[in-house]
Amino acid sequence: MQDFNVWEQRARELKEAGRPGDALKIYLVMAGGDPSLDAGYLGLRIGECYEKLGDPHSARFWYGRAVEENPTIDRYIAARARLEHLSIDDVLAPGPTVMARRAG
């Protein structure tokens, strides 16, 4: 059996050491099989890692999951609201697809 408190401490240390990608791996394993994301806490932590990795769209998704699981926590609400302005218009804009670039 795994001690999730030990995992959480290690993930926090990694994040503070500037290794959010490694912390993210731990948080994702911790979240696996936990539909509530530990009452949203893991959603917040996963979102923070994605944000530090420069992926605000993924961060917004995970912050949203945190709010879904626990809509009364102000930190979750604030994190989600901070990225509310994001749009996927740049992804939807016409342009060459990966397959077209490979063929070219």
Q: How far is the CA of 28 from the CAs of 42, 75, 82, 104, in angstroms?
A: 8, 20, 22, 37
- Our count of domains for the chain comes to 1
Percentage with pLDDT > 90 across the chain? 67
Please state the rounded mean pLDDT for residues 24-41: 88
What proportion of the chain, given as a percentage, has pLDDT over 70?
Answer: 89
Query: CATH code at 67?
Result: 1.25.40.10
Residue 73 structural domain: 4-103
**82-96 confidence digits (pLDDT tens):** 999 988 887 777 776
61 contacts: CB under 8 Å, gap ≥ 6: 47
Q: Are 11 and 41 in contact (CB under 8 A)?
A: no
Quick: pLDDT tens for 46-87: 999 999 999 999 999 999 999 999 999 999 999 999 999 988
3-class state of residue 70 by DSSP = coil
Instruction: Please tell me the distance from the alpha carbon of residue 1 to that of residue 23, in angstroms, as a whole number.
Output: 20
